[in-house]
């Protein structure tokens, strides 16, 4: 019996949001094209395609005006549906963008009542998540941003954001929820400019919090690409800082509208470097697909979309293994990494190391004349990706 090497298994930790496979295909120009699935139906679909986890916004599951009793019943029923379909709930998040009350943002809004409502709503999302076993709270600003910067000073917005995150960290601690907070940056949409436009911005913000140890980031491929940036570089900086708490995988053509394409659909080479990095460093968190099917699709197309995200990840993981094991590539990489002339190490500063460095005579011309075979290296990479190697 042959087994499909690209079949998703629980240890791959593939997760989808209720809002991703549940996306009915509405866009700014057109109405929904797919029937709205209930959370239970989505759990069944995710179980069928072989996902490991399902994530949710509070209101993907519990309507915003549900009574406490309705809330309890809905959450209990959903927990049972997840169990039935072999799914865990690793992450929850808060919808702070759909309701008109949040038209000027939530945590950064000028009206203190809106800010307080935002924090109250996030507490409610944390309660729901805790009941379902979630340990990661994603915080995406949604509408934390501006069309006109006349509305408030942007540093005040940052102070308000800090106040809210600090409060929610304490809420997690005092309820023993044990959440890790993953802050998700995005440069624009739905506002013209969002605060905290890049993962790097959040990495600068986190050390200013009361509980920086509880807070990391949730980089998203599409969001870095919307800003014209390199996702793998953003992820690497987060990883190196011990802050890669979650990841949103999808795809996005640079310079276009917010596309949320199937993982690897637009930039397979960028996706390859990302998967290679995650697998090489041993990232152990969820691989969450924050994407949705093309608007041309029905229910079967949504399954094709979800299977495609996971399959592409696993194919790229296999390509990464091939890349690392390829003798010609390894030799080339080792050669490119090798020093070409003796030089004093930089290392720890001391008077002696500084003197040694000041006095050293480099053959600068030889350094400039050295040829670096990155063309060959990249072509070998492309040949692996295109399947001829």
Q: Which residues are catalytic?
A: 57, 60
By CB under 5 A, the residues from 278 to 337 that bind Mn ion are 290
Measure the CA–CA gap between 333 and 276, rounded to whole angstroms: 15
Of 140 and 202, which has the nearer Cβ to ligand GCO? Answer: 140
Measure the CA–CA gap between 94 and 97, rounded to whole angstroms: 9
Q: Which does 138 bind (CB under 5 to 8 A by kind): Mn ion, ligand GCO, none?
A: ligand GCO
DSSP state of 230: -
By CB under 6 A, the residues from 197 to 236 that bind ligand GCO are 220
Strand 193-194 and strand 145-146: the pairing is antiparallel
Contacts of 304 (CB under 8 A, 6+ apart): 293, 297
Shortest Å, Cβ 302 to Mn ion: 18
Shortest Å, Cβ 187 to ligand GCO: 10
Of 58 and 290, which has the nearer Cβ to Mn ion? Answer: 290
- Residues 83-112, one symbol each (x = binds ligand GCO by CB under 6 A, - = not), give ----------x-------------------
Of 161 and 320, which has the nearer Cβ to ligand GCO? Answer: 161
Contacts of 55 (CB under 8 A, 6+ apart): 15, 16, 17, 18, 89, 90, 91, 92, 93, 134, 138, 286, 288
Q: Which does 172 bind (CB under 5 to 8 A by kind): Mn ion, ligand GCO, none?
A: none
Of 248 and 251, which has the nearer Cβ to ligand GCO? Answer: 248
Are 91 and 57 within 8 A, CB to CB? no
Measure the CA–CA gap between 15 and 310, rounded to whole angstroms: 9
Measure the CA–CA gap between 230 and 210, rounded to whole angstroms: 30
> Does 248 interact with Mn ion (rule: CB under 5 A)?
yes
Q: Which does 214 bind (CB under 5 to 8 A by kind): ligand GCO, Mn ion, none?
A: none
Q: Which does 93 bind (CB under 5 to 8 A by kind): Mn ion, ligand GCO, none?
A: ligand GCO
Among the listed residues 60, 220, 224, 251, the single contact to Mn ion using CB under 5 A? 220
Are 203 and 241 within 8 A, CB to CB? yes
Structure tokens at 192: 């013209």
Contacts of 268 (CB under 8 A, 6+ apart): 312, 316, 385
Among the listed residues 58, 184, 224, 251, the single contact to ligand GCO using CB under 6 A? 184
Shortest Å, Cβ 57 to ligand GCO: 6
Half-sphere exposure of 32 (CA within 13 A, CB side): 8
C-beta neighbour count of 381 within 10 angstroms:
19
Shortest Å, Cβ 359 to ligand GCO: 53
Are 184 and 218 within 8 A, CB to CB? yes
> Does 287 interact with ligand GCO (rule: CB under 6 A)?
no
Shortest Å, Cβ 329 to ligand GCO: 34
By CB under 6 A, the residues from 47 to 66 that bind ligand GCO are 57
Q: Which does 104 bind (CB under 5 to 8 A by kind): Mn ion, ligand GCO, none?
A: none
End-to-end CA distance of the chain: 26
Residue nearest to ligand GCO (CB): 140
**170 φ, ψ (degrees, to nearest 5):** -65, -40
Shortest Å, Cβ 140 to ligand GCO: 3
By CB under 6 A, the residues from 240 to 269 that bind ligand GCO are 248, 258
Map residue 12 onto helix, strand or coil: helix
Residues in contact with Mn ion by CB under 5 A are 220, 248, 290
Residues in contact with ligand GCO by CB under 6 A are 57, 93, 138, 140, 184, 186, 220, 248, 258, 290
């Amino acid at each position: 019996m042959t087994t499909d090497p690209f079949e998703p298994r629980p240890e791959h930790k593939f997760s989808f949001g209720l809002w991703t496979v549940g996306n009915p295909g509405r866009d700014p120009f057109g109405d929904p094209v797919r029937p709205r699935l209930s959370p239970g139906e989505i759990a069944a679909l995710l179980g069928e395609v072989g996902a490991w986890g399902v994530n949710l916004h509070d209101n993907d599951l519990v309507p915003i005006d549900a009574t406490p009793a309705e809330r309890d019943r809905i959450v209990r029923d959903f927990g049972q549906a997840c169990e039935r379909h072999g799914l865990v709930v690793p992450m929850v998040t808060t919808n702070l963008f759909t309701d008109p009350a949040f038209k000027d943002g939530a945590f950064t809004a000028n009206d203190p009542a809106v800010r307080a409502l935002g924090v109250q709503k996030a507490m409610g999302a944390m309660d729901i998540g805790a009941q379902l076993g979630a340990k990661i709270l994603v915080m995406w600003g949604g509408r934390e941003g501006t069309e006109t910067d006349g509305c408030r000073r942007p540093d005040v917005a940052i102070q308000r954001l800090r106040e809210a995150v600090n409060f929610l960290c304490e809420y997690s601690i005092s309820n023993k929820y044990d959440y890790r907070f993953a802050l998700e940056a995005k440069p624009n949409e739905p506002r013209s400019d969002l605060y905290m436009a890049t993962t790097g911005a959040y990495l600068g913000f986190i050390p200013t919090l009361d509980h920086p140890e509880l807070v990391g980031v949730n980089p998203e491929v599409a969001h870095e690409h919307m800003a014209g940036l390199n996702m793998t570089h953003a992820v690497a900086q987060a990883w190196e800082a011990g802050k890669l708490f979650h990841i949103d995988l999808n795809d996005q053509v640079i310079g276009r509208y917010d596309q949320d394409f199937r993982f690897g659909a637009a930039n397979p080479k960028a996706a390859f470097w990302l998967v290679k990095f995650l697998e090489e460093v041993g990232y152990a968190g969820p691989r969450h697909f924050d994407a949705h099917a093309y608007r041309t699709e029905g229910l079967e197309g949504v399954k094709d979309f979800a299977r495609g995200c996971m399959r592409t990840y696993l194919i790229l993981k296999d390509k990464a293994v091939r890349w690392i094991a390829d003798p010609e590539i390894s030799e080339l990489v080792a050669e490119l990494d090798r020093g070409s002339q003796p030089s004093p190490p930089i290392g720890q500063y001391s008077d002696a190391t500084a003197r040694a460095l000041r006095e050293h005579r480099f053959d600068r011309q030889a350094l400039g004349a050295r040829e670096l075979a990155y063309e060959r290296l990249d072509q070998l990479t492309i040949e692996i990706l295109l399947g001829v190697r």
